[in-house]
Chains A and B, each alone.
Chain A
Amino acid sequence: MGKKIVIHDFEPKIMAFVCKWCTYSGADLAGTSRMDYSPNVRMIRLPCSGRIDPQFMIKAFEQGADGVFISGCHPGDCHYNEGNYYARRRNTTFRQLMDFHGIDIERIEFSWISAAEAIKWTEVIDAFTEKVRELGRHPQYDDEVVDPYAQFLVQKDQESA
C-alpha cells in the first residue's frame, strides 16, 4: 500500500534530533514495518532529548536546514528519569527566542514519540514536511553577500553546485 509519488517544486531539508530510547526505535519500527514516511528527514540519534542543545538547532538552520524536528520520550518515560522535562523547558524558551529573531517557529517541531508509536512518527513527520514545504525555504543567512568583493566566490560556488 505504498503512497503515490508526487513530484514537488520544493523539497525541504528537515533535520531531526531524536532520543535513541524512544523516537529512534519508533522510526526503526516504522522502517521494519514497511511504513512510508517522508524522505526529507535526516535523523541524528542522541542519548536523550535532554542532550539536544539549542546549539544543534542553530547550527542546523545555519547549515541550510528548512525545518528542525526534536523528539523524545513521553513525560514520565525518560530513560534518565527527567531529561525530557529539561528538554521541554529548554525548547519552550528557545522557540520564543527564534520567534523574536524572526524565524517562523512552525519550522521547529517538538513531539513525544515512544518506541511503539511508529504510526505517530510517520504521521508527525509527514505533516511537518508538508508544513515546512508550504513555508518554503528558510531565510538563509548566507544567501546574499553584501560585500561585492565576494560576489565572485558566490557565483563560482553556484556554478559548481
Chain B
Amino acid sequence: MKTATLNKSDIGKCIDLLLQADLRVIAPRLQPQVDEDGPDALEVLTFTEVKSGEGHQVGKGLLPLNGVKEFLFAKHEPLFAYEKRGKKIEIIPVHHEYPQTVIIGVRPCDAASIASLESVFSDANAGFEDPFFTERRSRTTFITYSCTAPDSSCFCTSVELSPDSAKGSDLHLTEIGDGRLHVEVITKAGEAVAKQLQELLKGEGDQATREKAGAEVTEKLTRIRDSAPIMDWLMDTANFDDEMWQRLGEKCIGCGACTFVCPTCHCFDIVDENKGSKGYRVKIWDSCQFDHFTLHASGHNPRDWQYKRYRNRFNCKFKIYPEKFETPGCVGCGRCIRACPVNLDITEYMAEVAHKATNPNAIKAE
C-alpha cells in the first residue's frame, strides 16, 4: 500500500485537478438558506456535484445529509422507455452514459455501506445483476476522509467500524495535524486518482501518527452499544413476538425519514410514468415504513401496524443483511437517529436486545 501526505489546504486544488481530468466530482457542499443566521436555519450539508474547487466542505462538518447512496442508486431511475402504437408496444432501451465519477470527502461509515448495497444489487444476490447500480459503481471512486469530531449520534464503533476505517475506500485521507493529511492508496481505482493528484502529493505518509489520530477520535465516541449478541437473539423466531417491539415502537409515526437517509436501505418501487402514448418505467425509492409497502391486493397486510414495520427495519439491519447478503446492514452513521422526528433510536433497540440476550432469565422474571 502506498502512502503520501497532502496539505489540507490543497483539497480545492485536488478537485480542480480532477475536474481538469474530465471527471465528475461530487463533494459535500453547504446549501443556501433563506436566512443564514436565523434561529431556524441549520447548516444543510449535502453531497452535490461541484464545478470548481471553491466552496467545498471536504473534512468540515460531520456527515452530509444525503450520503452517497443516491449517486449509485438514483432516487429516480428510468429503466426503459416505451411507446404504444395501436396494439403494439415498442420498448426503447436506455443506454445511459456513465461519467467517471469521484466522490470526495466520504466518511468511513458511508464508504463501508457501499459493499452492503453492492451485495443486494450485484449478481451475488440470486444471480440477478442490477445493471444501473453496478455500472455506476464500477465508474465511481471514493476518496474517504476520517472523522475528526463524531457527534453524540454516531455509533460506528458499535458495528465493528471506526471513525478512521478505510473499508470500502479507494483513497483514504486522515488528518495528522499541522494542516497535513495522511494519504493511503487502497485500490487500483484509488491509484488512478492519486496519479491525477501527483503534483500535490508529497513523500511518504506518517502511519504512526495516522493511527494515533484515529485512536484519539475513536475515544470521542460516546454512544457505544454491544451489537454482538443481536443477531443470535433475532434468529430465535420466538423473539419476533417479543413485547419490546411494541413498547419501543409505538411512538413511531411511520415517516420514511430513517430509511431514506440510511446509507444501506435499498428498497424501491417500480412505476410507470405515462404521458400520452409514451412513457418511462422508472425505479424510485420506497420505504418499508410506509403502510402500503407490503399491502396485498386482497387487502391483507402482513405488517399492518407501525411497530411491525420498524421491527422489520431493525431485523433488516441486524439479521437479514448479515444472514442473506452476508454484509453488515448498519454502519453506525447515526443518520436515522438525527433524522427521526420523535427520537426513535435504533441504538435503544440495540441496547434492549443486548440486554435481553445476555440476561434472558432476568426478563422472564419480570
Contacts and interface: CB of A to CB of B under 8 A. Distances in A.
The reply, when asked whether chain A contacts chain B directly with Cβ atoms under 8 A, is: yes
B271 interface: no
Nearest to B83: A160
A156 B81 contact: yes
A104 B254 CA distance: 36
Contacts of A149: 74, 77, 96-98, 132, 136
Interface string A148-161: 11111100110010
Interface residues of B, number: 19
A144 interface: no
Given A153-B280, A157-B81, A147 B97 contact: no
Given A150-B78, A152-B95, 7 more contacts: A147-B76, A148-B97, A150-B77, A151-B97, A152-B96, A153-B81, A156-B81
A93 interface: no
15 contacts: A147-B74, A147-B76, A148-B97, A148-B99, A149-B96, A149-B136, A150-B78, A151-B97, A152-B96, A153-B81, A153-B94, A156-B81, A156-B92, A157-B81, A160-B278
B60 to A, nearest CB: 24
Contacts of B94: 152-153
A62 to B, nearest CB: 10
A92 interface: no
Contacts of A63: 275
A26 B132 CA distance: 54
What class of interface size applies to chain A in its complex with B?
A: 10 to 19
Interface of A: 63, 147-153, 156-157, 160
Q: Which 8 A-B pairs rank lowest in CB-CB distance, beginning with the nearest?
A: A149-B96, A153-B78, A150-B78, A152-B95, A153-B94, A152-B96, A148-B99, A152-B94
Interface in B240-295: 275, 278, 280
A156 B78 CA distance: 13
A155 to B, nearest CB: 10
B24 interface: yes
Contacts, number: 32
A156 B76 CA distance: 18
A133 B97 CA distance: 37
Nearest to B24: A148
Contacts of A148: 24, 97, 99
Contacts of A157: 81, 278
Nearest to B78: A153
A150 B280 CA distance: 11
Interface string B76-113: 11100101000000001011111100000000000000
Contacts of B76: 147, 150
B84 to A, nearest CB: 13
Contacts of B78: 150, 153
Contacts of A160: 83, 278
Contacts of A151: 97
Contacts of B24: 148
Contacts of B74: 147, 149
Nearest to B101: A148
B87 to A, nearest CB: 19
A43 to B, nearest CB: 19
A157 B78 CA distance: 13
A63 B132 CA distance: 28
A35 B136 CA distance: 59
B15 to A, nearest CB: 18
A142 to B, nearest CB: 10
A70 to B, nearest CB: 23
Interface in B216-252: none
A144 to B, nearest CB: 14
A149 B98 CA distance: 6
